[in-house]
Amino acid sequence: MRARFGPRDLDFPDAQLGTMRASRPADSPQLLRERMACDGYLWLRDLLPRADVLAARHVILDHMAAREVLSPGEPVTEGVMPPGGRGLPMNGNRGISHLAQVLKVMEHEALFRFFETWFGETALTFHFKWLRAVGNEAYTGAHMDHVYMGRGSARLHTVWIPLGDIPVDQGTLAVCAGSHRLAGFGRIRDTYGRMDVDRDGVEGWFSRDPLDLSARHGGSWRSTPFRAGDVVVFGMHLMHASTTNLTQRFRLSCDVRYQPASDPVDPRWVRDGKGHSNLPPEKTMEQARAEWQV
Ligand SMILES: O=C(O)CCC(=O)C(=O)O
């Protein structure tokens, strides 16, 4: 399948962007821990009931249709964007993310069960939900999540939830396996990986060209076509990005966060936390990288 990753077009899968390793929720905890330690992520197939995910998708698309951001005359369930269509900012919009069917998926009992086993104690999730409708030509640049939410637990995890079946040309999550531990990423983890976008006034994406990053530092980029019900779990120092949405259909997904309830919590993302400062960055990533010499 054709795909675009940063500025480069490729046929997925290929040597530069391979397929994620699949895990199952029923795999033994030891196997899952070994995989997480080695790869830095778990692609858990069918962790969530597909019907629940599709119900959340429909509620979100109805919400978008009511705000006239979908192409009129096309089935709402397809999420087609009009030519030159604008998206709908949904990041942190509790009016959408806290609708019952949507919240049911993002705070699903299967996620709490998974993390309570993983942490060996009660889990909590941020109230803030990063809900996305990603339009044509849009993508996410390579980054580590620590720069956005690193003020609390060292055991914070991201869960990326595709809200529908998403082929790679519609903009899927891509992870750089090994970037959380490989020596080639050591200096990046010690500089960029300790940054805080609000405190330091630096933009968050490390690179808009993920393949350049792996060519210089190692790691192995992986993505996959996702099915509704799958999730990807990873820690705060795994480099990740997305492929570009080359289609005319919005890519719906959400990233949510889980951590042990007894750990400190980044106050920006819970209760009435105010999120990012939203001040324009004082420094470009190019300037910061020159200073860090990475
Ligand atoms: O969905 C995307 O495009 C990016 C997701 C992401 O950066 C994350 O889950 O932390």
Core vs surface per residue 155-172: b (16+ CB within 10 A) or e: bbbbbbbbbbbbbbbbbb
Q: How far apart are CA 104 and CA 130, in angstroms?
A: 15
Q: Which residue has the higher pLDDT, 278 or 1?
A: 1
Sign of the C-alpha dihedral computed for residues 275, 279, 280 and 282 taken in this order: negative
CA of 241 to the centre of ligand 1 (A): 6
**Domain ranges within the chain, ordered by starting residue:** 28-292
Q: What is the pLDDT of residue 143?
A: 98
Closest CA to 222 of 39, 57, 47: 39
Q: Which residues pair with 41 in a beta bridge?
A: 234
| 242-282 pLDDT per residue, tens | 999 999 999 999 999 999 999 999 999 999 999 998 888 99
Q: What is the pLDDT of residue 88?
A: 84
Q: Give the mutation target among 240, 245, 266 for probing the ligand 1 site: most ligand atoms within 8 A of CB.
A: 240
Question: In this structure, which topology does domain 28-292 adopt according to CATH?
Answer: Jelly Rolls (2.60.120)
Q: What is the pLDDT of residue 193?
A: 98
- Give the pLDDT band of residue 185 (cuts 50, 70, 90): very high
Region 111-127 average pLDDT: 98
Distances (CA, A) of 118 to 38, 113, 127, 220, 269: 16, 9, 20, 25, 22
Q: What is the pLDDT of residue 83?
A: 84
Q: What is the pLDDT of residue 270?
A: 97
For 209, phi and psi rounded to 5 degrees? -130, 80
Looking at residue 270, what DSSP letter applies? S
Assess contact for 165 and 228: CB atoms under 8 A.
Answer: yes
CA of 140 to the centre of ligand 1 (A): 7
| 61-92 pLDDT per residue, tens | 999 999 999 999 999 999 999 987 777 889 88
Which ligand 1 atom is at minimum distance from the Cα of 145? Answer: 10
Q: Give the mutation target among 143, 160, 226, 234 for probing the ligand 1 site: most ligand atoms within 8 A of CB.
A: 160
Number of H helices, E strands in the chain: 10, 13
Looking at residue 281, what DSSP letter applies? P
Give the length of the chain.
294
| 34-71 pLDDT per residue, tens | 999 999 999 999 999 999 999 999 999 999 999 999 99
- The SS3 of residue 120 is coil
For 32, phi and psi rounded to 5 degrees? -65, -40
User: Which residues approach ligand 1 with their CB closer than 6 A?
Assistant: 132, 140, 145, 158, 160, 173, 240, 242, 253, 255
